Structure 1
Amino acid sequence: MRNIDYFDKSAALYPERPVLETQQGAITYAAMQRMTHRLAGAMAAAGLQPQEAVAIMSPNHPGVLTAMLSLWRAGAVWIPVNTRNALPDTIAYLRYVRAGWLFYHSSLSAEAHEAARQVPSIRHLICLDAPDAGNPCLDGFMLPPDAPPFPDLGGPDGGDRELCAIIATGGTTGPAKGVRALNRSWGTMLESIAILMAVEEIPVFLATAPLSHAAGPFALAGIAMGATIVMLPAFDAHAVMEAIQTHRVTHMFLPPTALYSMLAHPDVRHYNYSSMRYFLLAGSACSPEKLRQAVEVFGPCLCQSYGQTEFHLIATWLPPEIVAAAAAGDHPERLASCGRATMSVRLELMDDDGALLPVGEVGEIVGRGGIVCDGYFEMEEATTEVRTHGWHHTGDVGRRDEHGFFYIVDRKKDMIVTGGFNVFCSEVEAAVSEMAGVHECAAIGIPDEKWGEAVSVLVVANSVKAPDAAAIMAHCKARLGSVKAPKHVFFRDSLPRTPVGKFDKKAMRAEFWQGQSRSVN
């Protein structure tokens, strides 16, 4: 089904239930439904085309959810913008997907106007929270309250083959690739989450991670369940702990790095978490010891999933009862597992020749099924490459035990996962290499208590005028944004290479990963 169909089902069942609770107040399902009709109608009246790309660039804000649901009601395609990206990357991506609309928050006004100046396809700018430089705010742009309902654009098949989003995934060179998410695959993801995380009480989801990342689809799964979404503007460990207790939160998604921040907070044991049923960790691997500690603090609600932008969020599932048992000493090795394949997918391990591998052997994780995306937007060659031998290739290397539990042990692709975000080494290396005095450099991820992996560079200088570590980090932050900028710089006389002359990243990483049971953290 279409995303708006899931919302409308819940609105029909629970019209007076709050769909959203924020610092600005609560919005019921019925009120939100009326707003989405008014905004969809206004977009259509302003010339919105079927399946047109509509970008949203904002921190967490009530208008983000309103705009998302409205664009889906109007038959448009969601383009989430990661506000942590450097502006040139955002502009390049908006050009690539030919975004026609840009909804933005006033705190990003300068960036939005620069994007509109450089992206010829953008025809409309709407500021979510206030009128801005001649652009209307969300409330001012909507049709009046007495406007007729927007026509129902759905069909008997639920629009299975229609796009609902084009989501950026990291690119090694050139612009990022846009993952084509169809209503078919997106709906399968929402239904899988709703089934796996069902509860008897009214679900209350906490949205504190950016809705432009995995928190967005997780919140939509909650809406499909009739949940109230408690939205925080950004992650803050203390605010999250308070919100869980105050709102009796039942479901929450965070990347492991945010969990680590909560565990390190001095007040973490001073709050009541008894309402929690599912504390989902996803986006990167979680430290088994941290996971064990989290069960002690938050109770038997910790769970994990594995997926990708291309392989929507819930390819594997490690449920709370398995995590709690492992933390108590029953199969403790499962704390390092990402779980077993969910019902909608088949997962296997494959060697470089396309042969499927038996239990216990290490190979690339490949999959097929309902949550696999429809390939990359206007990138046929990349789509073909990721689908060789009839399977979706994740680029992650893992093993499977005799009980069907998967364990990720390394990554086949040259990528660092830091704080739940993907960073490709070549992007960092290109930024460092352009600096005067740098002979060569290599980017790797090294273990980090906060980020899981910290982006780091090994640099060979070619003169005494080489930049120091602080200059390198500052340059990369300006060029790439804070997520991709290195947190550590190590100077070396030379860098190890393979027999064919390529950088030996395995040897570089070994220096920092000695004593670790796996090469992800």
Structure 2
Amino acid sequence: MRLIDYLDKGASLDAEAPCLICDGEVKTYADVQELSGRVAAALVADGVQPGDKVAILSTNDPTSFTCVFGISRAGAVWCPINPRNEARENRELLELFECSVLIFQASFASLVEAIRSALPRLRTLVCLDDDLEWAARWEDFLARGTEPVDRRCPDDLTMIVGTGGTTGRPKGVMLPGPSIETMTAITLMSYPWPRDGARPTYLALAPLTHAAGVLCFPVLCHGGSIVIMRTPDIAGFLDHVEHNRITHTFLPPTLIYMLLDHPTLDERNLSSLQCFWYGAAPMSASRLEEALNRIGPVMAQLFGQTEAPMMISTMAPRDHYDSDGAIARARLASAGRPSPLVTVAIMADDGRLLERGERGEIVLRSSLVMRGYFNDGAATAEASAHGWHHTGDIGYLDDDGFLFIVDRAKDMVITGGFNVYSAEVEQALMAHPAVADCAVIGLPDDKWGERLTAVLQIRHGSTLDPEELKSFVKARIGSVKTPKQIEIWEDLPRSKIGKVLKTEIKKEFLDLDALTGHHGPARAHPGPGPRFIGP
């Protein structure tokens, strides 16, 4: 299926049903179809050929999201550009993707103007909501198209997505139609949906350029409505759930923590929720249990990556509970079971597949997996060594078939000769009631090789005694895995989608060590910002 086919499927159920809702304005399926057709016709009139790359730079917005379907109807390839990126990263992505057209909001005009001269392939710029001398006006652009269009990309490529580039130059992940179709099929078969002809209502607060966007496609298959929030706002999120009777939504863990800390949460009526997805980063098991108790039995985990979108493994709401109805605490730290259309295995460094309970790299086979990295055969070959897609995550499968992710391969800490997985330590830290969020890293140490170091954010109004916290962690996972250094920072550095950037945390420590020549025991962090509470 093309992306436009999901919209057309929903329209076939009822073209006059609400499709996109934003700021009180409702666009029916017929409205979205009509505008997507005009966008497709304009792109073709502009010279876009099947397989050409068209980028969108926008915050959450119904018009820009409609452009996704217009791109697909024109047979072109959608290239989502994260609006939170810096100008340099966006220039790299547009160059890497070989984009010929960029559709953008006026709020990013200064960024686009700063990089456009360095992008010779970018022949057409279209501003959605302003009159700029150097870009096409939206209505003028639409007026270029006069003939109906319905084309296919010759190699069925649907979208190219950047990997983020947090560890170097970003790569372009090529996702063909079958990848998105497999993701959509898994979503439809793995999670609860309304019955007896009722239609879902999905609330998109997280960026539509990421998980919140691709989760719209299964909603469209049911002819459901998508409520779009332009900016993240937890109070507004709760208002929408109540007033629009939201059935499905997605938030990353950082925003769920903010939701749980919101003072009016327990007063709100969230009874319409059937499926509250969480993912994109590890979630604290203790806070997940809190969400189950306070929000209800609707939490639903998904685990994937850009190269295998969203659904490598799934955990439906019912899987959060034992057969007797009690919360299944032992599996709350898992990533669920491998999805029905995905084969997951655990692999050793030499390519051997490991037994249940053994730890190694998580690998998979599925039509969910990307076609490869755009114009990067070497990276594609590395990611598909031994005939499996390599995730870069370390994990294991338990006897019940649940997948546990213990770390990113690059984040494992070797301290005193022992392998310590930072994710396990982070779970133990997050179980403490005063800890709001945390990151565990290894720092060079003359005695230990790597010093296990925890950087924390604490909950507002809380206090924390480091020795008590160490005892708390030690009682759960032992002394080897207990951090030797603990610091509190006001904020942790995060990526554009809310993931904690351990590379940035480590860099700050290592830059300081380079200045002081220090590689030994813990020492106070000077200056404003982080506050040391270690031994």
TM-score by length of 2: 0.77
Query: 209, 212, 234: which one pairs with 1:212?
Result: 209
The answer (yes or no) to whether the contact 2:50–2:151 under 8 Å persists in 1 is no
Q: Which residue of 2 aligns with 1:115?
A: 115
Q: Which residue of 2 aligns with 1:315?
A: 312
How many angstroms apart in 2 are the aligned matches of 1:211 and 1:389? 34
1:71 aligned counterpart, secondary structure:
helix
Deviations 1:47-79 (CA, angstroms, capped at 9, x unpaired): 112111111111111122111110011011111
1:48 aligned counterpart, secondary structure:
coil
Q: Which residue of 2 aligns with 1:30?
A: 30
Deviation larger for 254-263 or 318-327 = 318-327
The answer (yes or no) to whether the contact 2:363–2:391 under 8 Å persists in 1 is yes
Structure 1 residues 122 and 148, CA gap change in structure 2 (3 angstroms)? closer
Correspondence 1:433-512 to 2 at 5 A: 446=455, 448=457, 486=504, 489-490=508-509, 491-492=512-513, 493-495=517-519
Query: 139, 151, 154: which one pairs with 1:153?
Result: 151
Q: Which residue of 2 aligns with 1:190?
A: 184
Amino acid at match of 2:71: L
Q: Which residue of 1 aligns with 2:162?
A: 168
Q: Percent identity?
A: 35
Structure 1 residues 144 and 122, CA gap change in structure 2 (3 angstroms)? closer
Gaps of at least 5 residues in structure 2 are 413-421, 427-439, 444-449, 460-486, 521-531
1:445 shift after superposition: 8.1
Gaps of at least 5 residues in structure 1 are 419-424, 430-440, 451-468, 497-510, 515-521
1:269 shift after superposition: 1.2
Q: Which residue of 1 aligns with 2:279?
A: 282
How many angstroms apart in 2 are the aligned matches of 1:375 and 1:512? 45
Q: Which residue of 2 aligns with 1:234?
A: 231
1:129 shift after superposition: 2.3
- Does residue 181 of structure 1 match 2:175? yes
Q: Which residue of 2 aligns with 1:95?
A: 95
How many angstroms apart in 2 are the aligned matches of 1:180 and 1:379? 11
Q: Which residue of 1 aligns with 2:436?
A: none
The answer (yes or no) to whether the contact 1:84–1:482 under 8 Å persists in 2 is no
Q: Which residue of 1 aligns with 2:417?
A: none
1:196 shift after superposition: 2.2
Deviations 1:393-424 (CA, angstroms, capped at 9, x unpaired): 00000111111001111111359999xxxxxx
The answer (yes or no) to whether the contact 1:41–1:143 under 8 Å persists in 2 is no
Q: Which residue of 2 aligns with 1:466?
A: none
How many angstroms apart in 2 are the aligned matches of 1:343 and 1:482? 27
The answer (yes or no) to whether the contact 2:18–2:26 under 8 Å persists in 1 is yes
Structure 1 residues 444 and 189, CA gap change in structure 2 (3 angstroms)? farther
Deviations 1:103-155 (CA, angstroms, capped at 9, x unpaired): 1111111111222222111111111223333533434421489x5532x325x
The answer (yes or no) to whether the contact 1:126–1:137 under 8 Å persists in 2 is yes
Q: Which residue of 2 aligns with 1:410?
A: 407
The answer (yes or no) to whether the contact 2:383–2:390 under 8 Å persists in 1 is yes
2:161 aligned counterpart, secondary structure:
strand
Structure 1 residues 229 and 388, CA gap change in structure 2 (3 angstroms)? same
How many angstroms apart in 2 are the aligned matches of 1:301 and 1:202? 17
1:336 aligned counterpart, secondary structure:
coil
Amino acid at match of 1:122: L
Structure 1 residues 443 and 17, CA gap change in structure 2 (3 angstroms)? farther
Q: Which residue of 1 aligns with 2:6?
A: 6
TM-score by length of 1: 0.79
Alignment root-mean-square deviation, CA: 3.4
How many angstroms apart in 1 are the aligned matches of 2:299 and 2:137? 39
Query: 295, 299, 306: which one pairs with 1:298?
Result: 295
Q: Which residue of 1 aligns with 2:194?
A: 199
- Does residue 55 of structure 1 match 2:55? yes
1:443 shift after superposition: 13
1:46 shift after superposition: 0.9
1:194 shift after superposition: 2.2
The answer (yes or no) to whether the contact 2:46–2:144 under 8 Å persists in 1 is no
How many angstroms apart in 2 are the aligned matches of 1:327 and 1:111? 56
Amino acid at match of 1:251: H
Structure 1 residues 64 and 199, CA gap change in structure 2 (3 angstroms)? same
The answer (yes or no) to whether the contact 1:446–1:512 under 8 Å persists in 2 is no
The answer (yes or no) to whether the contact 2:54–2:102 under 8 Å persists in 1 is yes
Deviation larger for 120-129 or 386-395 = 120-129
How many angstroms apart in 2 are the aligned matches of 1:303 and 1:482? 19
Moved over 6 A (4+): 415-418, 441-445, 511-514
The answer (yes or no) to whether the contact 1:84–1:483 under 8 Å persists in 2 is no
1:5 shift after superposition: 1.3
How many angstroms apart in 1 are the aligned matches of 2:382 and 2:225? 41
